[in-house]
Homo-oligomer: A and B are copies of this chain.
């Protein structure tokens, strides 16, 4: 299985590089620059492509070119910017700069669309192509967050998923949105789950849980897929 993770340099994306795939699979990380030291995993081929989705058209072309000739089984679009003051008590929409707003929309929406468009031919040559979009609970009604642009772009991913399924159902394209709550991005997979689960007094979601779930999604038969996974922290009062 050949799996591409876009936005792979840190946090959840890095955890996908650490935890997805089995012996014989290959992983392709995409981030703005190639990490100085690539993760190594026994039996798994790990490649990297540098591309800056802030310029989505050339970035998409670059990634597709680097893929040329091969099939792609799974594309995980895990890239998503948020406002510089997002999730802070002093966040205020009226203080967001127009430049930041436009950059977020470009990377989170146009970037996703153009990269998927560029990679669809490679995906559709897979017997069971899957796209996974890292959304957020901010893509759900009643999410209770005031970040306008982040919310807009995460809702947009759901729209991308809907239309892709409609356009490529006959080719068996599966598209899954992961609507994730507050993640614990401090502890990588090397930290035991029990310990990671202690951080933030248990109020954040260990990356282990997300990786475990995505591993399961990738192991489903080609007959089915999960459209949407809504996964908040257990004590999150918004859900």
Contact = CB atoms under 8 A, between A and B. Distances in A.
A52 to B, nearest CB: 15
A85 interface: no
Given A159-B139, A165-B239, A223 B216 contact: no
A81 interface: no
A151 interface: yes
A140 B98 CA distance: 28
9 contacts: A94-B121, A101-B110, A144-B166, A152-B157, A152-B163, A206-B221, A206-B223, A213-B216, A224-B231
Contacts of A164: 93, 146, 148
B159 A154 contact: yes
Contact of A148 (B160, B172, B212, B226): B160
A165 B148 CA distance: 10
A167 B141 contact: no
A14 interface: no
Is chain A's binding surface mostly helix, strand, loop or mixed? Answer: helix
A147 B163 contact: yes
Contact of A105 (B105, B121, B239): B105
Interface stretch (A2-10, A16-24, A35-43, A197-205): A197-205
> What is the interface residue range for chain A against chain B?
35 or more
B223 A209 contact: yes
Contacts of A231: 224-227
A225 B238 CA distance: 14
B233 A224 contact: yes
A209 B233 contact: no
Query: Which 4 residue pairs of A and B lie closest in terms of their CB atoms, listed nearest first?
Result: A142-B142, A155-B159, A146-B167, A151-B159
Contacts of A229: 226, 229
